């Protein structure tokens, strides 16, 4: 393994450990007598049964994609904080197609839902991309604006076009529009009386992994990816080399938005009966994707593992309420563990600086020893 890869893994492990320790301290302060069993639940619940393992993969699916969305833009010098708006817009289109396009056969309706979500996310991501490219509006500002515009616009569309009065949410996705389980329901299950209880994990996790691999190939193995990264590393040099910077900014934000949009689709097509609530809160999956991207050091393959880890912590943290901890404490612990992961680049920079300082001292010491040996050799010859 390359030294850079080892340093990346070490940085991620250190921030995970630090986040877990701080989370444990919060539990100790809240209720010292129950802190240990609650913390043990956080660490072990996700792997305690095959069904729980399946649920970890299920909940990891959308945040892997929002993590890829953030990382793709970051690799090209952009900070896509608008993944949550693109996620919401993509989810709405996926549900709308799944509910209303019943004239299509199920398999084609599923493909259309996911493709429609990708297009919706891409179009929503194009707005901050165009503003950045042609009006030099900082993408963070425009992404924050499009997040809220998207949220209120989707609320309006749900109320007017597919509102379920009985549930107070969007119309539920019909079962024929949900993603197929691909046999995962027979793998990720646990005994329940005389039968089994299966996880709702489905082909969505496979799609997320394949998209992560595709993003890696685009960024590392294609001319297009090289041009995108060149704009991110040095815009002036990229422009001097004849690369169309404005086009790449727009394309980068569109691809980033498409990934988040697909994440929204897969989140609501998983067969768990999720519907879009009419609330004035931004989808947390988009912001969680930032931590997932940073913990994975913006590497598409690393994001697969960081997404699974974040999902694992969420699943275990949600099960500690029986130990007497309030929901606010639970949210605080989970948030500290997850968002502490955003410090991974700071930890990596610290480790890199320490390594350079250590080797610099070694070089100086070796040089001094060499000079001493030369002087001693000269002295011996003189005598």
pLDDT in tens, 204-244: 999 999 999 999 999 999 999 999 988 888 777 777 788 89
Q: How confident is the model at residue 360 (pLDDT cuts 50, 70, 90)?
A: confident
For the ranges 48-62, 189-203, 320-334, which has the lowest average pLDDT? 320-334
Q: Work out the average pLDDT over 334-350.
A: 78
Q: What is the mean pLDDT of the chain?
A: 89
d(CA 229, CA 264): 26
pTM of the model: 0.90
Q: How confident is the model at residue 92 (pLDDT cuts 50, 70, 90)?
A: very high
Q: How confident is the model at residue 362 (pLDDT cuts 50, 70, 90)?
A: low
User: What integer pLDDT is reported at residue 379 of this predicted model?
Assistant: 62
The model's pLDDT over 143-157, given as tens digits with 9 standing for 90+, comes to 999 999 999 999 999
Q: Take residue 19 and report the two structure tokens written for it.
A: 């986040």
Give whole-number Cα distances, 157 to 47, 106, 112, 161, in Å.
39, 24, 19, 6
Looking at the predicted structure, is the pLDDT value of residue 88 above 50? yes
Looking at the predicted structure, is the pLDDT value of residue 381 above 70? no
User: What integer pLDDT is reported at residue 273 of this predicted model?
Assistant: 84
- Do 253 and 73 meet the contact criterion of CB atoms below 8 Å apart? yes
Q: What percent of the chain has pLDDT over 90?
A: 64
CATH architecture of 3-366: Orthogonal Bundle (1.10)
User: What integer pLDDT is reported at residue 326 of this predicted model?
Assistant: 82
Of 296, 326, 274, 120, the C-alpha closest to 215 is: 296
Looking at the predicted structure, is the pLDDT value of residue 291 above 60? yes
Q: Work out the average pLDDT over 82-90.
A: 97
Q: How confident is the model at residue 344 (pLDDT cuts 50, 70, 90)?
A: confident
- Do 345 and 294 meet the contact criterion of CB atoms below 8 Å apart? yes
User: What integer pLDDT is reported at residue 1 of this predicted model?
Assistant: 47
- Do 76 and 211 meet the contact criterion of CB atoms below 8 Å apart? no
Q: Work out the average pLDDT over 354-371.
A: 69
User: What integer pLDDT is reported at residue 13 of this predicted model?
Assistant: 86
């Amino acid at each position: 393994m390359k030294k850079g890869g080892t340093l990346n893994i070490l940085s991620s492990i250190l921030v995970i450990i630090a986040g877990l320790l701080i989370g444990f301290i919060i539990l100790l302060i809240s209720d010292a007598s129950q802190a240990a069993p609650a913390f043990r639940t956080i660490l072990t619940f996700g792997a305690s049964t095959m069904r729980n393992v399946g649920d970890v993969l299920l909940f990891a699916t959308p945040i892997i994609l929002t993590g890829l969305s953030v990382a793709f833009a970051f690799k090209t010098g952009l900070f896509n904080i608008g993944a949550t708006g693109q996620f919401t817009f993509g989810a709405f289109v996926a549900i709308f197609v799944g509910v209303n396009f019943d004239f299509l056969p199920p398999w084609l309706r599923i493909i259309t839902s996911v493709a429609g979500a990708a297009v919706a996310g891409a179009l929503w991501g194009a707005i901050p991309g165009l503003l950045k490219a042609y009006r030099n509006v900082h993408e963070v500002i425009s992404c924050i604006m499009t997040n809220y515009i998207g949220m209120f616009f989707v609320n309006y569309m749900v109320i007017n076009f597919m509102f379920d009065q009985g549930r107070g949410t969007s119309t539920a996705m019909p079962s024929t529009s949900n993603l197929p389980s691909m046999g995962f329901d027979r793998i990720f299950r646990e005994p329940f009386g005389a039968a089994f209880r299966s996880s709702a994990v489905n082909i969505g996790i496979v799609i997320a992994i394949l998209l992560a691999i595709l993003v890696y190939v685009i960024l590392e193995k294609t001319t297009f990816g090289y041009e995108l990264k060149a704009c991110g590393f040095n815009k002036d040099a990229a422009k001097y080399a004849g690369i169309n910077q404005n086009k790449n900014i727009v394309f980068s934000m569109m691809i980033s938005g498409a990934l988040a949009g697909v994440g929204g689709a897969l989140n609501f097509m998983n067969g768990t009966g999720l519907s879009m609530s009419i609330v004035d809160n931004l989808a947390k999956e988009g912001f969680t994707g930032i931590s997932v991207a940073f913990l994975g050091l913006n590497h598409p393959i690393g994001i697969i593992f960081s997404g699974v880890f974040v999902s694992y912590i969420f699943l275990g943290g949600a099960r500690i309420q029986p130990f007497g901890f309030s929901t606010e404490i639970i949210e605080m612990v989970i948030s500290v563990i997850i968002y502490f992961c955003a410090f991974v680049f700071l930890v990596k920079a610290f480790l890199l600086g320490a390594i350079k300082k250590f080797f610099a001292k070694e070089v100086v010491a070796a040089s001094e020893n060499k000079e001493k040996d030369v002087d001693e050799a000269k002295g011996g010859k003189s005598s």
